[in-house]
Structure 1
């Protein structure tokens, strides 16, 4: 691997970390948006919710994510893998389900339980070069959660199954 490729990988890792921290730690939607490609997809796969494009992502983050983040939300990285176009993090996410989470568990009322659940985040990137200057933009940010495990840990899996019966 060349030093230029290694530096590119470090740059996209930093972009992913900045976007993640801006949304989930700082609640700073505008900072998160500065690194996104115009057609970016931002999605939480467990709840099949998300947005595409800057304005839709701004609305999604401003209305559905940031005001509904649990106060004790914490991400612990287990592993990180990256190449020139992707950064993947395996995470353990811990939080107290003390409010509705339309970005993660739409329609599930708060249970008051504290849970830890496995998740994987994948940031995908596009690079453009102008006169030797490479610009990297996030084209997709997806967080995949183990939904069934999360619902079971929250004690709502049986309730949901009974409601469907």
Structure 2
């Protein structure tokens, strides 16, 4: 069998799999396209299962027949190898019922949602061995109204992903609404993982000098930036313990030296 015929066969199995999930809602037909030890992982929400019976139970309880009536899945690009298919898709639906795999535990909001989805589908022979599904959950939460619009306006998240993938505007998240500004004194803390030498992971909030950048909120005012950083215990000039952020003299322009 040539590589071309194998790839064509894989595409046919994947098409049957998705049509059984979303169109005919046939659980048995869905499972017939999979190996004896499949894995289905919706990575952003950690919904899925590993193993044939757990995957069947996941499909029965949380997926097949649990999508809105207007759910559509449009394939934008497809890459097919000898044992793997990668699909770039656009999923669109009205959140008029709970959709457990993408918004688990969230009651219907009535909002329209449209997101780019990547599916990495691996095969063992001509049967599906695993599905790893990825999408931008921040965009989903924003479109569902689960993040306040004022908060979404300050976040670097593209909500209209259909426009991004077609002929929509680009680079708008770098506009005046989020440009760095100067002049306001903010409070910052940078969190740095503590290593073996910092067992207590203590934290310190440091006052940023006026020259340090904060971020401009809509309306032109500067917002405080909270950054957390653990401190290490050092010895001050007279031998007394002093909690000082590591490398603070370089970060904030403090010129004095601290002796150990």
- Is TM (by shorter chain) over 0.5? yes
Deviation at 1:48, TM superposition (A): 1.0
Unaligned runs of 5+ in 1: 128-135
- State the match for 2:144 in structure 1: 154
2:69 is aligned, of 46, 68, 71, to 71
1:107 and 2:105 are equivalent in the alignment: yes
- State the match for 1:6 in structure 2: 4
1:39 and 2:29 are equivalent in the alignment: no
Q: Which has the higher contact order (CA 8 A, sep 6+)?
A: 1
Deviation at 1:149, TM superposition (A): 0.8
State the distance in 2 between where 1:8 and 1:20 align. 19
- State the match for 2:47 in structure 1: 49
Q: Is the 8 A contact 2:90 2:114 kept in 1?
A: yes
Deviation at 1:96, TM superposition (A): 0.4
Q: Map Cα deviations across residues 26-72 of structure 1 (whole Å, 9 max, x no partner).
A: 21110010121111101222211101112111111111112321110
- State the match for 2:115 in structure 1: 117
State the distance in 2 between where 1:120 and 1:91 align. 6
The structure with the largest alpha-carbon Rg is: 2
Deviation at 1:158, TM superposition (A): 3.2
Unaligned runs of 5+ in 2: 152-260
Q: State TM-score, norm by structure 2.
A: 0.55
SS of alignment partner, residue 100 of structure 2: coil
Moved more, 38-47 or 74-83: 38-47
Whose helix proportion is higher, 1 or 2?
A: 1
Deviation at 1:76, TM superposition (A): 0.8
Note the aligned Cα RMSD (angstroms). 1.6
Aligned structure 1 segments of 4 or more residues deviating by more than 4 angstroms: none
